[in-house]
Amino acid sequence: MAIITQDTRIHDIAEKIRHGERLSIEDGLFLYETNDILSVAQLANEANLQKNGDRVYFIENMYINPTNVCEASCSFCGFKRKPGEDGAYTMNEEQLLEYVEKRWNDNIREFHIVGGHNNEVPFDYYLDTIRVLKKNYPNATVKAYTGAEIEFFSRISGLSMKEVLEELVKAGLDTLPGGGAEILTERYREKMSPDKASTDQWLEAHELAHGLGLRTHATMLYGSIESKEERLIHMDRVRQLQDKTNGFMVFIPLAMQPRTATMGLTRRTSAYDDMRTIAISRLMLDNFDHIKAYWINIGVQLTQMALSFGADDIHGTLIEERISHSVGALTSQGITRKELVHLIKTANKKPVERDTFYNVIKEY
């Protein structure tokens, strides 16, 4: 790993990576602070090539948000509605199937389901959502309900989080998405998402899921009040759980979106921050196989650039994404398979269509 820089600290970090030594939070802080972003990119790219070669993964998937009614008051969310508020909705079985049928094609591999913490309906509503989809679309994987939703279900049902997960698995749950993590420090959560699961509860939900044999996802929502150290503490906490369970498949850094699309550049994460965060994620999370660049948040061209900054996954077709678009996401709500393949190939990478669990469907 030949690093062209005079900075001895970069060389020291490169040596640690070369010898399989884990980077510390202090190393991560240096990588956030150095002006030599191209050396950070080179290190991350080398680390990714060792794990994934030139393969870049994507999936044909469909987002479903069954309800936007939510008891929580997260300061970054424009999706939620209170009961009876204009725009509030909760899909019944007929509406759910109608929504899917209008958007369905036979290449879709996965339903990605996230919604509000709606305490106006019982836990059975959330179970029935999975049952209905599994009954009508048995070959699609159900990726449903964040770690924060698991804790919420526990409160409204009176069941333990483990019992909640067991009931969801019986209904047909295949995996948990990575959302609800935001930043895994209590200072952040008290300010930004005080009504949702704590750091320990989010981690516990995923540890329990791993114990039941589910492979899951982990996210980090960056770009608001958190410090760089808190981002690295977040990475370290999921890294520690991965050491214990090896249950996470992928880490997904998510750039915070401003409250409205009309907000200017000063209210958005910078391209430099986005690329650096993806690269540092790849370098810190040595026990994760995959780092995802989420094109919905950073746009397709930065996503393409991220493939040289340590990312090996660009998510999926989505069909219709609502949550980021309820605030200030500027991207389209879906993308075609042809466009995803083009995006990867023009970065001189090999497009690989996958299923939820990174099994190869097709190489292009």
Question: Going by C-beta distance under 8 Å and a sequence separation of 6 or more, which residues neighbour residue 81?
Answer: 68, 69, 70, 87, 88, 89, 116
- Do the annotations mark residue 60 as ligand-binding? no
Q: Give residue-wise pLDDT tens across range 244-286.
A: 999 999 999 999 876 555 555 556 799 999 999 999 999 999 9
| Helix or strand holding residue 33 (H, E) | helix 25-33
Tally Cβ neighbours within 10 Å of residue 360: 11
Q: Give residue-wise pLDDT tens across range 174-217.
A: 999 999 999 999 999 999 988 899 999 999 999 999 999 999 99
Tell me, what's the pLDDT at 339?
A: 86
- Do the annotations mark residue 76 as ligand-binding? yes
- Do the annotations mark residue 182 as ligand-binding? yes
- Do the annotations mark residue 74 as ligand-binding? yes
Domain ranges of the chain: 55-355
Strands (E), 70-171: 110-113, 141-144
Tell me, what's the pLDDT at 259?
A: 53
CATH class of 55-355: alpha beta
Q: Report the distance separating Cα 264 and Cα 241, nearest Å.
A: 37
Q: Cβ distance 255 to 286 under 8 Å? A: no
CA distances in angstroms from 184 to 134, 180, 205, 252, 353, listed in the order given: 32, 10, 13, 14, 31
- List the pLDDT tens digit at each of the 364 positions of the chain: 556 566 789 999 999 999 999 999 999 999 999 999 999 999 999 999 999 999 999 998 999 999 999 988 777 777 778 888 888 999 999 999 999 999 999 999 999 999 889 899 999 999 999 999 999 999 999 999 999 999 999 999 999 999 999 999 999 999 999 999 999 999 999 999 888 999 999 999 999 999 999 999 999 999 999 999 999 999 999 999 999 999 999 999 999 876 555 555 556 799 999 999 999 999 999 999 999 999 888 888 999 999 999 999 998 875 544 444 444 444 455 688 888 899 999 999 999 999 999 999 999 9
pTM of the model: 0.92
